[in-house]
Amino acid sequence: MNFLGKLIGLRVRQLTATTWILIALPLSHNFPVLATKTEADALLRSGWWLDSDMSLDVYCMWFGVSCDDSISIIEINIPERGPHDYMVTRNLNNMNFSLLLNLAFLRLPNNHLTDIIPLQICALQKLRHLNLSHNYLTSELPLCLQNLTMLEVIDIHDNQINSHIPPKLGNLKRLIYLDLSFNLLNGMIPMTLAKLKNLALYLQMNFFNGSIPSEVGELKSLTHLDLSLNNLCEKIPHELGSLVMLTYLNLQNNSLQGTVSEFKMVLKLNYINLAYNHLIGNIPNNLAHVRYGFFLGNKGLKEIELSKRMSRELMTVA
């Protein structure tokens, strides 16, 4: 590695960024005359930063921005719109993502983002980690997300997304974490997600309907499954019983039918919540080791003798 060359490269980049700032600042977040060529342009034009955040020479040192060795942006991490930047209106549509070819981490939770998730976000071919949680994003989860094959983490929980889950998200082989909870998502839970053997899946508080796909039983390393507060119906697939690592299962407030005994339970389970469904029959004895069991609000479910470790109050059948 030629250190001097790198240093000169750095100097040139610094100069470029500084020059852009000098040209751009008087235009106050509206830069119609600038050419769109560099990563610095994309940042400048986005309007995502306050002038005070941009006061340092290199854009790599702007608040929340990180670069790699070749001074290309790999991360934008702005954890929230704080008191100091409440005047900034960040909008995903104002960032030219096609200029950020090396961006791997995009974290903008709690940033008061409104509007849609633009298709242009799919220009981020190297994106590994996407966190847009706790915003006001609406409309669809872009289908093209299924093309971002480097994605490992998608966290868009607590927004107002109201589409289906793109079925081919199941093709994202590296995906290990998908949190779409607390949205307005609907349709069926795509069974293709079961192809992602190491996935942690959070889909609670949406409008998913149809049955729980039996393929969920293939997610062998799943420790935590939360499908509560949806409109899921039909039987609980007995395949859930083969989730040997499962410690937490929450299916409360759906319209699930049939008996609980139809799925043999798993050993590590510590929490099970089946409250407010339409389940019938007995609570099976093999749930006796479960520490927290919630079965309220299933009119057809009969209380039986369970381990004393399970709180009487929690297991009461309404």
Residues contributing to the site for ligand NAG (CB under 6 A)? 36-37, 79, 96, 98-99, 109, 131, 133-134, 143-144, 146-147, 153, 155, 177, 186, 209-210, 229, 253, 276, 297
Residue closer to ligand NAG by CB (options 210, 284) is: 210
CA 209 to chain centroid, in Å, comes to 20
Residue closer to ligand NAG by CB (options 75, 155) is: 155
- Smallest separation (angstroms) from ligand NAG to the CB of 56: 24
- The burial class, CB within 10 Å (0-12 / 13-18 / 19+), for 57 is middle
Residue closer to ligand NAG by CB (options 92, 99) is: 99
Residue closer to ligand NAG by CB (options 133, 247) is: 133
Residue closer to ligand NAG by CB (options 10, 188) is: 188
- The CA-atom distances, in angstroms, between 259 and each of 234, 253, 282, 302 are 11, 16, 7, 10
> What are the φ and ψ backbone dihedral angles of 315, each rounded to 5 degrees?
-90, 0
Residue closer to ligand NAG by CB (options 145, 269) is: 145
List the Cα angle 170/172/174 in 5-degree steps: 125
- Smallest separation (angstroms) from ligand NAG to the CB of 307: 25
- Smallest separation (angstroms) from ligand NAG to the CB of 229: 6
- Smallest separation (angstroms) from ligand NAG to the CB of 243: 21
- Smallest separation (angstroms) from ligand NAG to the CB of 218: 22
Residue closer to ligand NAG by CB (options 24, 266) is: 24
Tell me the two tokens of residue 3: 């250190």
Tell me the two tokens of residue 92: 């995903």
- Smallest separation (angstroms) from ligand NAG to the CB of 263: 21
Cα gap 137→161, rounded to integer Å: 6
Cα gap 125→136, rounded to integer Å: 24
- Smallest separation (angstroms) from ligand NAG to the CB of 77: 10
- Smallest separation (angstroms) from ligand NAG to the CB of 170: 14
Dmax over Cα atoms in the chain, in whole Å? 77
Contact indicator for 102, 54 with CB cutoff of 8 Å: no
Can you tell me whether residue 139 is helix, strand or coil?
Answer: strand
* Number of separate helices (H) and strands (E) present in the chain: 3, 19
Tell me the two tokens of residue 258: 């049939």
Contacts of 308 (CB under 8 A, 6+ apart): none
Residue, CB closest to ligand NAG = 144
Residue closer to ligand NAG by CB (options 2, 30) is: 30
